[in-house]
Amino acid sequence: MNEEYALRTGGPVPPGPAAPPVDPGPAPAATPADPTGAQRAAAGNRAAPPVAGAAQPTAVHLAPDAPVDRRARGGRAPAADPATDQLLPMPDDESELGTSASVADAEHHHEPDTQDDSDDEPPLSRLAASKLRRRRRTRTAARATGSICAVLALLMTGVGWNYLRATDNGFTQVAALDENSADIVDPGGQLGDENFLIVGTDTRAGVDAQLGAGTTEDAEGARSDTVMLVHIPADRSRVVAVSYPRDLDVSRPECEGWDNEKAKYTDTTFEPAMGDKLNATYALGGPKCLTKVIQKMSGLKIGHFIGIDFSGFQSMVDTIGGVEVCTNRPLIDDELGTILAQPGRQKLNGPVALDYVRARHVQGEERSDYDRIHRQQLFLSSLLRGALSSKVLFDLGKLNGFINAFSSHAFMDHVSTKDLLMLGRSMQKMDAGAITFLTVPTAGTTSYGNEIPRESDIKAIFQAIIDDQPLPGEKKAPAAPSSEAPPPPAPPKLQAVDPSTVSVQVSNASGVSGMAGTAATAFAGQGFQIYSVGNYDGGDVDTTTVRYSSGHEAAAATVASSLPGATMEESPDLGSIVEVALGSDFSGTVNAPTEFGSPVTAPDPSAQSAEPVALPSDLEHVNAADELCK
C-alpha cells in the first residue's frame, strides 16, 4: 500500500506505526540517515556538483557523416552488443555514432566526474535531496521522450523495416491490448485505421536498471514518462499524434501488477482508484493498464503497442547525422544549464538533443510540461523530416545504426516488421504538412499536482480524429490549377428488387439486448428472407449500416429503403447476403421497402455525415511542416 501511495502521489511514503522497542545489541558504526532514498542515489547515480569554469555543452554543427568524438566529453564507448551482429555492421568511420553511449556518460556531460563514493560523504539536506530527485526525474523523462521521437520516425520510414525482418523474434513481447473493450467508439467505423500507443519508459523491459534511471524504491522507476497515441486513418491521408502529460489525472481500472524489469505481470492485483497520475498507472499496471486508460479516454481502438527505453536515443540521433532545430532565442535551463547558446538554425548531436527535449525549467518558459511537449513536437517534426529524407533512407550505414539502436531497446504487442513495412510504404509520399501533433488539454491541477483533463474537449478532439475532420494546423497540399473542382459523382441509379429474393443477416450492434430478433421479425413482415440473427462482429455502432458485396447494390439499396437514416457500406466477404448492422439509432421500426421495379437510390454517405464537432479554441498543435524560425 505504501508503494502504491508513493507512486500515485509522487511524494514520500508516510511513516507507518512505530515498531515496539527491542534490544539492539552492540551498536554498529554510525551511518547517515537516508529516509528519502537520496543517499542511495548519491552512492550510485548522482552526478557531482558543477566545477567552476567547466564548459557547458552546446549545439554542434555536424557534417552529414561526421562522427561525434565522445572522448572529448569524457565519454566511454560501451562494449559491442552481440545481439546486433545479425544486422549489417556499421562502417568504421561511423562506429561511435552507431553505438549507444553509456548513460553514465550522458548523465555527466555537463560536469566532470569528481564524485567520491567513500563512506565519509555527509548526508544530504532535505532541500538538496529534493533537488537531486527532481534532476533525476528530469533526466529520466527526457530520455523516454527522445525515444518516442525516434520510434515514430522509424515507424514512418517503411523501407527501414526490411532490416528488421530477422529481428522479429528478438523483440520483447508484452501483453498490452484490449481490442474488445466496450470503450471503443464505433469499432466498425474504425476498420482499416491504425492506432499505435507509443510509450517512452525510463528502463527497458527485461534489462537491469543500470543506466541511472532510478528504481521503484524511489517511486520513480519504470514509469511511462512520455505517452503518445498515433492515429493513421484507413486512407493513409494523414498522421495525428496526441501527446499526454505524464502527470495527467486519471481513474485507474483494476489492473494486474507489472514488473518492468522482467517484462512480466505479477500476481498482485491493484483495485480501481481515482486520482492516479498517468505515469503512476503504468508503473503499477504496465502496458495493459495504460492501454485501458488511454482507450477509455480516446475511444480509439488501439491495435499496436510500442514501448522503448531511453538508452538508445543519443545513438539514434547521432547515427542520422544529428537533428536540425531552430530557435528564436538561446535555450538556458535552470537545472541543465546552457543548452543552446545562440538563437537560429543549428544541428544537435545526441547529448544536446537529449537536453533539448528534456528541459523543464527553461528561462522564459512558464508552462513547464506544456512548453516541453511543444518543444518535443517541434523536435519530432524535424526528426521525421530528417529520417524520411533520402540521406537516411538510402544510406545503409545510417539506416542500419538507427534500426540497431531501436531493436535493442523496444518491447511491443501486435507489431511485426511485415505490417510496419506495408504501413510505412503506404505513407512514403505523405507530405510533412499532413502530420499533426496535438496535446491533451487540461485545466489546472489537483492538490497532488495532477493535471486535470478537460474531458468534454478531449472527447471532441478524438471524435474529430475518428471522423477524419480537419484539424488545426493541418497543411493540405495546394490544389492543382483548374477552373472549379468537378462535382461529386451522383449516386448510382438502381431498381428495387423483390424483397423475397433478398437474404438478410440481421446483426445487433445497438447495445440493446434482443434488438436483432425484433428487427428480424419486422424484416420478415416486409417480405425479406432472414438468413441469420446474431451480434455484429464489429461491436456496437451509432448508425445503422447496410453492408453488401459488389454486384448486390440494388438488393442492399432495397433493404436500406426500409431503414430511414441508414448508410451503405461495401464489404467483400458477404457474397449474396445483405447484412444489416443495427446501430444505436435504430428505432425498432422497419418500413415497407421501395416497390419492386421502381427507381431506388443508394444513400449518399457524404450527405448523412454528422456536423463537425467544435474543437477547443486553445488546442495546442504543431504541424510537422512548421519551422519555428520562419
Where in the sequence is the domain holding 261, given as residue range(s)?
70-112+126-476
Range among 14-28, 65-79, 390-404 with highest mean pLDDT value:
390-404
Q: Once rounded to an integer, what is the mean pLDDT over residues 463-474?
A: 88
Q: Which three cell numbers stand for residue 475?
A: 497543411
613 in a domain, yes or no? no
Is the pLDDT score of 284 beyond 50?
yes
Instruction: Identify whether residues 457 and 425 lie together within a single domain.
Output: yes
Q: At 498, phi and psi to the nearest 5?
A: -70, 125
Based on the structure, what is the number of domains in the chain? 2
pLDDT of residue 465: 93
87 in a domain, yes or no? yes
Is the pLDDT score of 53 beyond 50?
no
Q: Which three cell numbers stand for residue 228?
A: 503518445
Give, to the nearest 10 degrees, the angle between helix 278-298 and helix 455-466.
50
Instruction: Identify whether residues 570 and 442 lie together within a single domain.
Output: no
Instruction: Identify whether residues 358 and 333 lie together within a single domain.
Output: yes
312 in a domain, yes or no? yes
35 in a domain, yes or no? no
Tens digit of each residue's pLDDT (9 = 90 or more) over 195-220: 999 887 765 443 333 333 333 333 34
Instruction: Identify whether residues 97 and 242 lie together within a single domain.
Output: yes
Q: Of all residues in the chain, what percent carry a pLDDT higher than 90?
A: 28
Q: Report whether 373 contacts 342 (CB < 8 A).
A: no
**In degrees to the nearest 10, what's the CA dihedral of 502, 508, 513, 518?**
-20
Instruction: Identify whether residues 239 and 331 lie together within a single domain.
Output: yes
Specify the DSSP class assigned to residue 564. Answer: T
Tens digit of each residue's pLDDT (9 = 90 or more) over 101-124: 333 333 333 333 344 444 444 454
Instruction: Identify whether residues 517 and 449 lie together within a single domain.
Output: no
Tens digit of each residue's pLDDT (9 = 90 or more) over 401-414: 777 777 777 788 98
Which CATH number belongs to the domain containing residue 177 in this structure?
3.40.630.190
Between strands 194-201 and 304-309, the pairing is parallel
Instruction: Identify whether residues 137 and 225 lie together within a single domain.
Output: yes
| 571: CB partners within 8 A, 6+ apart | 547, 548, 549, 579
pLDDT of residue 261: 75
Which helix (H) or strand (E) element contains residue 504? strand 503-508
Range among 72-81, 388-397, 613-622 with highest mean pLDDT value:
613-622
Mean pLDDT check: name the lowest of 68-77, 225-234, 312-321, 537-546. Answer: 68-77
Tens digit of each residue's pLDDT (9 = 90 or more) over 571-619: 877 889 999 999 999 988 999 999 998 888 766 554 444 567 888 888 8
Stronger pLDDT, 167 or 463, i.e. the higher one: 463
Query: Residue 70: what residue type?
Result: R
Pairwise CA distance, residues 231 & 567, whole Å: 24
Which CATH number belongs to the domain containing residue 554 in this structure?
3.30.70
Q: Please return the burial class of 23, using the count of CB atoms within 10 Å of its CB with bins 0-12, 13-18 and 19+.
A: exposed
Sorting pLDDT into bands at 50, 70 and 90, what band is 323? confident
pLDDT of residue 164: 53
Show contacts of 265-274: CB within 8 Å, 24+ apart: 265/175, 270/4, 273/4, 273/8
pLDDT of residue 297: 95
Pairwise CA distance, residues 35 & 433, whole Å: 51
418 in a domain, yes or no? yes
Instruction: Identify whether residues 286 and 197 lie together within a single domain.
Output: yes
Instruction: Identify whether residues 452 and 503 lie together within a single domain.
Output: no
Stronger pLDDT, 107 or 491, i.e. the higher one: 491
357 in a domain, yes or no? yes
pLDDT of residue 39: 40
252 in a domain, yes or no? yes
| 489: CB partners within 8 A, 6+ apart | none
482 in a domain, yes or no? no
Instruction: Identify whether residues 426 and 308 lie together within a single domain.
Output: yes
Pairwise CA distance, residues 353 & 600, whole Å: 62
Place of cell 493535471: 451
Instruction: Identify whether residues 418 and 506 lie together within a single domain.
Output: no
Instruction: Identify whether residues 463 and 512 lie together within a single domain.
Output: no
Place of cell 453488401: 548
Helices (H), 545-629: 553-560, 605-608
